[in-house]
């Protein structure tokens, strides 16, 4: 690190070798923001029936093809797939994740998000009774079997929606909250961009077929992450194993929940989109969110979901490299009352590492040297750089751990002559 007449020289110095990996974000960043996501052209959704069936097949489903992962291509029979680490936002698998797809009953996750928001704001209550309209009673597809002309509690309707995947329960909730399904759908479309959905448009609250109704696998995963993060007090509904209403007992349609492999969220099916699944699981404090769609049967969906979730947990780990305020490096200061300033982590820096990649990677610091006084505590003056073969560098900001005042006139004159603390 050379000083040339008081002018800054950009420097990059190796700090730690053999401890870095694929992807990272600081705890200050929203955990739902992926570090990199490939852009793809959108494909139009295809008309389909949203009712679950075991003998239907999706166009192109059943044939394995590669998905992008930090470990290289990994085959999956899912037509669309997206897996990410909930803590860091690191993308672990991506297959056509930005393509528009028929989301079927995965739509109900967004419906639930709006309902949970109403509950959290106090505009709706779990024990509140909502009336059953003829439209809700006549709604086809998967059912909670709501009785015409009666009222049902919001809590029962939520269970009917997320456990039994009841289309009728969704209609009762939408009409009870917004007055009509159409007005509730407007709330969904208004909220979508606020939570990071970029390839979604809703026409109904159920996922029943409509050519203008679509989501992407990435967007489904974003809704899942927001459900977990924004409304943890209601997330448990997705993990309940069964629900009995009107003397009809139905198990949770999410086989991952039934097997104890996940604590939520939802399944879905359309003829055009195939069989889909969104699941999340927390193992030893590490949470993974997975979305797959376009498998050819409920059995294939279950097997592929279990395989890919196990793959994600088996191949990646989270490592905290620096804690908030921890010293990362000392940077020289020019014309300051002190000759150096500490560069510290502005927050915990946690990284998602593919197992076995640690020895192929390194961490370095990158900043202009010397830093010109005055230096302001908390201001960014450099970056932590994570490098690994085959991946773009990841840069995380570093901040000054303390302030350094600029020297007075005499001090600056002495420093220029080589006698002051700036040396």
Annotated binding-site members:
266
- Cα–Cα distance measured from residue 354 to residue 391, given in angstroms and rounded to the nearest whole number: 13
- Cα–Cα distance measured from residue 152 to residue 160, given in angstroms and rounded to the nearest whole number: 10
Q: Which two tokens stand for residue 358?
A: 């640690």
Q: Is-contact 337 421, C-beta < 8 A? A: yes
Task: Quote the radius of gyration of the chain (alpha carbons, Å).
Answer: 26
Distances (CA, A) of 92 to 44, 330, 380: 26, 34, 29
Q: Tell which residue, 202, 108, 122, 204, has the closest CA to residue 157.
A: 108
Run of H or E including 15: strand 9-17
Residue 84 burial (CB count, 10 A): 32
Q: Torsion angle, CA of 367/371/374/378, rounded to 10 degrees?
A: 20
Distances (CA, A) of 333 to 11, 94, 194, 246, 421: 14, 44, 42, 74, 9
Q: Which two tokens stand for residue 201?
A: 């448009």
Distances (CA, A) of 162 to 39, 142, 191, 239, 253: 31, 11, 20, 9, 9
Q: Which two tokens stand for residue 30?
A: 């929203």
- Cα–Cα distance measured from residue 400 to residue 378, given in angstroms and rounded to the nearest whole number: 5
- Cα–Cα distance measured from residue 113 to residue 393, given in angstroms and rounded to the nearest whole number: 35
Binding residues for substrate: 266
The contacts of residue 359 (CB under 8 Å, 6+ apart) are 18
The residues that are catalytic are: 105, 108, 165
DSSP three-state, residue 6 = coil
Q: Is-contact 270 156, C-beta < 8 A? A: no
Q: Is-contact 422 406, C-beta < 8 A? A: no
Q: Tell which residue, 267, 118, 270, 268, has the closest CA to residue 184.
A: 118
- Cα–Cα distance measured from residue 144 to residue 153, given in angstroms and rounded to the nearest whole number: 13
Sign (positive or negative) of CA dihedral 111, 138, 47, 181? negative
- Cα–Cα distance measured from residue 44 to residue 370, given in angstroms and rounded to the nearest whole number: 55
Q: Which two tokens stand for residue 283?
A: 């193992």
């Amino acid at each position: 690190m050379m000083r040339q007449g008081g002018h800054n020289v950009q420097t990059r110095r190796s700090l730690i070798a053999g401890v870095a990996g694929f992807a990272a974000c600081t705890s200050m960043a929203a955990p739902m923001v992926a570090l990199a996501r490939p852009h793809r052209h959108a494909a139009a959704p295809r008309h389909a029936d949203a009712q679950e069936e075991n003998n239907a097949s999706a166009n192109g489903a059943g044939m394995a093809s590669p998905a992008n992962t930090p470990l290289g291509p990994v085959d999956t029979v899912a037509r669309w797939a997206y897996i990410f680490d909930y803590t860091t936002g690191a993308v672990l698998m991506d297959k056509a994740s930005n393509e528009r797809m028929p989301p079927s009953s995965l739509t109900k996750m967004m419906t639930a998000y709006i309902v949970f928001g109403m509950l959290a704001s106090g505009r709706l209550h779990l024990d509140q009774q909502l009336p059953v309209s003829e439209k809700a009673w006549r709604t086809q597809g998967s059912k909670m079997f709501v009785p015409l002309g009666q009222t049902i509690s919001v809590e029962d309707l939520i269970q009917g929606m997320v456990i039994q995947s009841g289309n009728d329960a969704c209609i009762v909730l939408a009409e009870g909250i917004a007055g009509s399904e159409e007005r509730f759908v407007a709330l969904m479309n208004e909220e979508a961009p606020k939570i990071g959905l970029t390839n979604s448009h809703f026409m109904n609250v159920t996922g029943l077929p409509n050519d203008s109704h679509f989501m992407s696998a990435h967007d489904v995963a974003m809704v899942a992450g927001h459900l977990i993060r924004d409304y943890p007090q209601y997330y448990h509904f997705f993990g309940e194993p069964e629900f009995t209403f009107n003397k009809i007992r139905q198990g949770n349609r999410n086989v991952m929940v039934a097997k104890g492999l996940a604590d939520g969220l939802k399944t879905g099916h359309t003829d055009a989109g195939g069989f889909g699944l969104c699941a999340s699981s927390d193992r030893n404090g590490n949470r993974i969110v997975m979305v797959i769609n376009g498998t050819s049967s409920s059995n294939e969906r279950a097997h592929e979901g279990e395989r890919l979730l196990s793959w994600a947990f088996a191949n990646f780990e989270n490592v905290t490299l620096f804690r908030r305020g921890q010293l990362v490096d000392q940077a020289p200061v020019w014309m300051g009352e002190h000759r150096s300033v500490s560069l510290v982590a502005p927050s915990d820096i946690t990284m998602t590492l593919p197992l076995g990649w640690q020895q192929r990677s390194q961490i370095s610091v990158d900043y202009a040297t010397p830093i010109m006084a005055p230096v302001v505590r908390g201001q960014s003056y450099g970056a932590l750089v994570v490098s690994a073969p085959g991946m773009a560098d990841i840069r995380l900001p570093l901040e000054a751990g303390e302030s350094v005042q600029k020297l007075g006139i005499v001090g600056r004159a002495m420093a220029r002559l080589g006698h002051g603390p700036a040396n």
